[in-house]
Amino acid sequence: MHRTAADPAAETAAPGAEQLSTTASTPGARAAAPPGPFPLVPPSLAPEAAPGLRSAAARVLHANWTGTSTVPSRGLYPHQWSWDSAFIAIGLRHLSPLRAQIELETLLAAQWDDGRVPHIVFNPDVPAGAYFPGPEFWRSSADGRRAGAPEAVETSGIVQPPVHALAALLVHQADPGLSRARGFLARLRPRLAAWHRYLLECRDLGGAGLASVVHPWEQGMDNSPCWDVPLARVAPAPARSFRRADLDHGTVSDRPTDLDYGRYVRLALRYRDGGYTDRAPGTAGGPEFAVEDPAFNALLIASERALAEISAELGEPEPERPARAERLTAVLVERLWDREAGLFLCRDLRGGTGTEGAPVPERAVGGLLPLLLPDLPPEVAEALVHTARGPHFGLGGPVELVPSYDLLGTVFDPRRYWRGPAWFNTNWLLERGLRLYGEQGLAAGLRAALVETAAASGFAEYVDPYTKESCGTRDFSWTAALCLDLLSEAPVREPAAVVRTAAGHAGRWAERRAAGVRV
């Protein structure tokens, strides 16, 4: 097994993480956690079923553990994925805080010198051709040399949503004693800071302060209809020039079309052949695809707040980070909020006729995820909840889990990758946002549905939002991990400052309702 642990301490600690534990490494580490607003087991799940479900989820994570990281699934995704590892660590912290730390350390050890965290870290023991595009396609150690790609490990050259600082903070909170003894946060903080700096500086392609994605895979919701218009300008790579290994493990009707995949390949090749250099749209060598995405930026803003909490824990407060998070939230609202649609829209920086780009008129779940942010104007937060419950997403009505795309959209497909199915990570994030803004009943229902669906679907990658039939692969790691988190005795906690801010907004929201003011 190729080891990429970030330091000698991780190397010596790894063997001890092989066996999962259902308790924290430091006795009493969880005792200080305040009680959460929900029962530990959703009322619709029989209490006696919870231990069995926890054990089943733990078995999935144990089977997908490689020794230093967790693959999303053994067949379809045999390497380490960036935002997968963040969500996996959030669940692993309830089983083995040590292994959760190692998960993040392994990923960040593959960070490039320019700060980017690659979306895939390749395992050299996986046979060539088992996954496409593999290391021979990305050629990171050669073509990424100018951007500081590591020489000792092969990676992709694009990124994924920055959930990592939030994950690191939650992992630390699971066992602060172990974390401090290993210097976990002290070693990760400079890497996380460099990661955020890369996104805020090198990826501010629109010049307004928001980070842009230069490939649909970077946003994480690979096949979303939000990409249809921006992708239509991209000539696809010839079908004979690549072989899709994903179709060896997934149903054709569930996966992206060959045409879309050809465009993904073309974009990745162009970025690689340009040395993975980030340039503004419209300039020589600039990206054919450049989009400001609300979910990507909401997660960056949330992680800025988490990084501020990490710095405070280390005794080195960074007051500029919460201030930056508040400022970026304002920019997000100004630039991507659409009052008529009732949610945030992507902005296609290559679209329209001016340099500002054009909104993408598609409703996707990413447009709801800024509900994670405590500084939203009350009318925006209220509108997001209204939209989640309305006919386009149906939460608490025709569906129990929020679909990835508009139920009324002309290209809605309940089974095809990110074009309609419900995913566990986006619903986990939305549940967190609903709680933050005081929607306890709606959050409780979503929480129960997530746990029940994870159990019934065999920890599916994603599900049909109407029937909850499993799609993609089963025994999917982030599904198991987030199920564990929802069942945990240590509910996800927001920093006190975040709770106070959101509570103030929720209070003003209640006042507006009492006065009869509607969005």
Q: Which residues are catalytic?
A: 222, 461
The residues near 283 (Cβ < 8 Å, ≥ 6 apart) are: none
The DSSP line for 177-194 is HHHHHHTHHHHHHHHHHH
CA-to-CA distance for 422 and 401, rounded, in angstroms? 6
User: Going by DSSP bridges, is the β-strand pair 422-423/358-359 parallel, antiparallel, or unpaired?
Assistant: unpaired
The amino acid sitting at 401 is L
Among 493, 491, 504, 487, CA closest to 55: 487
Question: Residue 414 class from Cβ within 10 Å (0-12 exposed, 13-18 middle, 19+ buried)?
Answer: buried
How many Å separate Cα 296 from the centre of its chain? 8
Q: Which residues does 178 contact at the CB level (< 8 Å), separation at least 6?
A: 24, 25, 26, 29, 97, 98, 101, 184
Q: Return the HEC string of 382-430.
A: HHHHHHHHCCCCCECCCECCCECECCCCCCCCCCCCCCCCEEHHHHHHH
Q: What are phi and psi of 337, to 5 degrees?
A: -75, 135
The H or E element containing residue 70 is none
Residue keyed to tokens 């993975």 = 276
Question: Which regions of 64-215 does DSSP assign to beta strands (E)?
Answer: 80-81, 120-121, 212-213
Token couple for 488: 């945990």
347 strand-pairing partners: 292, 359
Q: How many CB atoms lie within 10 A of CB 62?
A: 16
